[in-house]
Structure 1
Amino acid sequence: MNVIIIDDDCLVSGALKTILESDKDISVPAVGNDGHEAVDLYRKWLPDVLLMDIRMREMNGLTAAQTILEEFPAAKILLLTTFSDDEYIVKSLRIGAKGYLLKQDYGSIIPAIKAVHSGQTVFGGEIMAKIPGLLNKNEAFDYAAFDISEREFSIVKLVAEGLSNREIAETLYLSEGTIRNYLSTILEKLDLRDRTQLAVFYYQHC
C-alpha cells in the first residue's frame, strides 16, 4: 500500500514516515509540505491513501482535499491534525474525506490508514462523539419520497454509525455483496457520491 504524507512540519512528516514504514504493508514514496504539493503528488503517484495535515501554509489540507476529490472522486484522504475544530470536522465530512484523526493519537494512525484503504470511513472517538451535534438538523426527512425502503433505511443508519460493509452484513444477516448492492442503489436514489456523504446526509436529516 502506497501512502503519501503531507505536513508542513518536516519533523512531523519524518516521524509519520518512520511510523508508517515500520509496517511491512506500507510504503511512503513521497512526502510534501503544503496543499499544492499534495495535489501534484497525488496526480503523480495516485496513492492508495493520502495522509494530510489541515493547517498548512499556501494551500490548507481541506482545500487540497476538495481539489483532489473533484478530480479523483475515489481518492481516499485521511486528515490528520492537532485541532479538534468543529468547522474543520464538518467541512472534512462534507467534502468527502475518509477520516479525521488527531495527531496525538499516533497509535491509531496505521489501523486508520488500513481501514480507509479497505473502504471504511474512520473518525477518532472524540470526533465521532461530536458529529451528530455539529451537523444541522432539519425536520424529519421523508426517505419514502425517494423510494428508500425500510431495509435500505436500516443500512443508512448503520453506515452513519460507522459500521463497515462486513459489520452491516453480519448485523442484518446478509452477504457483503448484497450490502454493496444496496449501498449503490441508496447512493443513486439520494444522488450522493459515497458512504461518507451518506452519513452526513443522515445526520443532517435525522
Structure 2
Amino acid sequence: MKIIIVDDDKMITYALKTIVESDEEIEVKGIGYGYDDAINLLETNKIDIALLDIRMGEKTGLDILNYIVSKKLAVKVLFLTTFMDDEYIKSAISLGAYGYILKDDFENIVPAIKAVCAGQKVFGGDVINAIYENKPSKVDLSNELTQKEIGILKEVSEGLNNKEIAAKLFLSEGTVRNYISVILEKLNLRDRTQLAIYYLNNK
C-alpha cells in the first residue's frame, strides 16, 4: 500500500516515516509539512492512504480531507494527532475520515494503516469517549432494536463489511444491507461509523 505522511512537526514526520517503513507492505511515497505539500503529493502520486496531522497552521488536515473529497480522489484519510477536540473528531467523521488515533498510540499506527487500507474504520477508545463525554447516559439497545439488529450492529462495530457479516450470520448480502438501512433509520444515524460509535457507547 502507498501512503503519504503530512505533519507540521518535521521530527515527528520523520519518526512516523521510520515507524511506517518498518513494515515491508507499506511504501511511503512522500512526506510533507502542511496543506500545500499535501496537495502536491496527492496530485503527483497514486496514493492509497494519507496519514495526516489535524492542526497545521492556517489550513488543517480537515482542509486536506475536504480537497480529497471535492476531487473525488480514491484516498483514505487517517488522522494521527495529539488533539482530542470533539469538534475536530466530529468533523473528521462527517467528512468521511477512515480513522482518528492519537500519536502516543504509536504501536498501533501500522495496524491502523492496514485496517484502513482494508476498508475498516479506526477510532481509538479515547476518541470515542471524547465524542460522547457530554452525551446522555447509555440507552438500552433492546428497547431500540431487535436482537438480530443488535447482532448486525455488533459486527459493524468490529469493522466487518456486508459480505463478511453475511457469511458470519448466514444471511445474504442484500439482507444485511437492508438490516443496516433499517438500523440507520431507527437510530437516526448517517453511516457505519456512527453506527459503530453508537454501539460502542451503549453496549
TM bucket, shorter chain: 0.7 to 0.9
5+ unaligned residues in a row in structure 2: which ranges? Answer: 137-145
Distance 1:83 1:98 in 2: 17
1:88-145, CA deviations, whole angstroms, 9 ceiling, x for partnerless residues? 1111111110000111110010000000000000011211233345679xxxxxxxxx
Aligned to 1:163: 159
1:7-30, CA deviations, whole angstroms, 9 ceiling, x for partnerless residues? 111111101011111101111010
5+ unaligned residues in a row in structure 1: which ranges? Answer: 137-148
Aligned to 2:114: 114
Aligned to 2:20: 20
Distance 2:108 2:127 in 1: 13
Return closer, same or farther for 1:194/1:86 CA change in 2, 3 Å cut-off.
closer
CA contact (8 A) 1:20 1:26 kept: yes
Give the aligned residue type for 1:196: T
Distance 1:152 1:90 in 2: 25
Q: Structure 1 residue 75: deviation in Å?
A: 2.5
2:34 is equivalent to residue 34 of structure 1:
yes
Aligned to 1:75: 75
Q: Structure 1 residue 87: deviation in Å?
A: 1.2
CA contact (8 A) 1:90 1:134 kept: no
Stretch of structure 1 that moved more, 14-23 or 55-64? 55-64
Aligned to 2:88: 88
Distance 1:112 1:101 in 2: 8
2:99 is equivalent to residue 102 of structure 1:
no
Runs of 4+ in 1 over 6 A off after TM superposition: 200-203
Distance 1:123 1:180 in 2: 27
Aligned to 2:124: 124
Aligned to 2:141: none
1:22-55, CA deviations, whole angstroms, 9 ceiling, x for partnerless residues? 1011110101111222223123223111100011
The number of aligned residues is 194
Distance 1:182 1:70 in 2: 30
1:196 pairs, out of 190, 193, 196, with 193
Return closer, same or farther for 1:173/1:162 CA change in 2, 3 Å cut-off.
closer
1:66-92, CA deviations, whole angstroms, 9 ceiling, x for partnerless residues? 221222264210001111111111111
Give the aligned residue type for 2:25: D
Stretch of structure 1 that moved more, 79-88 or 32-41? 32-41
Distance 2:40 2:134 in 1: 32
RMSD: 3.8
Q: TM-score, normalised by structure 2?
A: 0.75
Distance 1:44 1:122 in 2: 27
CA contact (8 A) 1:53 1:61 kept: yes
